[in-house]
Amino acid sequence: MNGETAPTSSLKTFIKSIPLIGPTARKFAHLPFVARVRRLAFPGSASFWESVYRHGGTSGPGSYGRLAQFKAEVLNDFVRTRNVRTVVEFGCGDGAQLSLAKYPEYVGVDVSPVAVRRCSLLFASDRSKRFFLIGALPADLGTFDLVLSLDVIYHLVEDRVFEEYMSRLFSFSLRYVVIYASNYDAWTEAHHVRHRNFTAWIDKKAPKWRAAGFIANPFPADPLQPDETSFADFHFFIRKDALSD
């Protein structure tokens, strides 16, 4: 801790005094001290979501209502028009969003054992769908036409987890990666939300890929309607050596 010995109460007081949203968040996001204190108060992204699902929670409002309908319309149209046959989603959650999907073959992956079991039961009669825990992927899982990341990246608070997740997204895709998330760097007041400029990561560390489209959310974030709006948009990516449509 570099010799920092301030009492816990003092740390909490200091952190609460910092409005970690908007431009101020960008100003403080790089500070190691702030990051260390936040880690003390947060059990980690995987543990957080396992606790949510274990206590009967859901994947959040983004997987329900008009936001879910919007995402399903975009993705179902993309899969149909691009002749996508195989889909893998890293962060399948509780399966609510998937219930609106029309994918020929689908694999859902999550960090939460409870979420994986819930999805396996929900879609037990659908042989086109399989679900796996992230730490128990089959060695012969293979690659897919399309890799999905929906409302996940801004929940990857830890840098190591973010790096591993992004690398996994692009290593499992043969043709397309579709990401639905915010795309700027900022801490927030919510311990489980940290916005990431993921396109900067792609530009630097995924040179075989290029941007292939963008669809803005028709229901942009509104603090007065948190369950009906979102700060996430659709970003589409294609392998440079893949046939373009």
To which residue do tokens 């086109």 refer?
128
Q: Is residue 24 part of a domain?
A: no
- Quote the domain boundaries for residue 157: 32-239
189 CB-near residues (< 8 Å, 6+ apart): 19, 20, 21
Q: Is residue 11 part of a domain?
A: no
Q: Is residue 12 part of a domain?
A: no
Residue 98 maps to which CATH number?
3.40.50.150
Assign residue 147 a region: left if phi > 0, alpha if psi is -120 to 50, beta otherwise?
A: beta
Q: Is residue 147 part of a domain?
A: yes
Q: Is residue 60 part of a domain?
A: yes
The pLDDT profile of the chain, 245 residues, written as one tens digit per residue, is 344 333 334 333 433 443 333 443 444 344 444 444 454 456 788 887 778 778 887 888 889 999 999 999 999 999 999 999 999 999 999 999 999 999 999 999 999 999 999 999 999 999 999 999 999 999 999 999 999 999 999 999 999 999 999 999 999 999 999 999 999 999 988 888 999 999 999 999 999 999 999 999 999 999 999 999 999 999 999 999 985 54
The answer to whether the CB of 96 falls within 8 A of the CB of 80 is no
What distance in Å separates the CA atoms of residue 140 and residue 132, rounded to the nearest whole number? 13
Q: Is residue 84 part of a domain?
A: yes
At 119, which amino acid appears? C
Q: Is residue 15 part of a domain?
A: no
Q: How many domains does the chain have?
A: 1
| φ/ψ of residue 239, rounded to 5 | -65, 140
Q: Is residue 22 part of a domain?
A: no
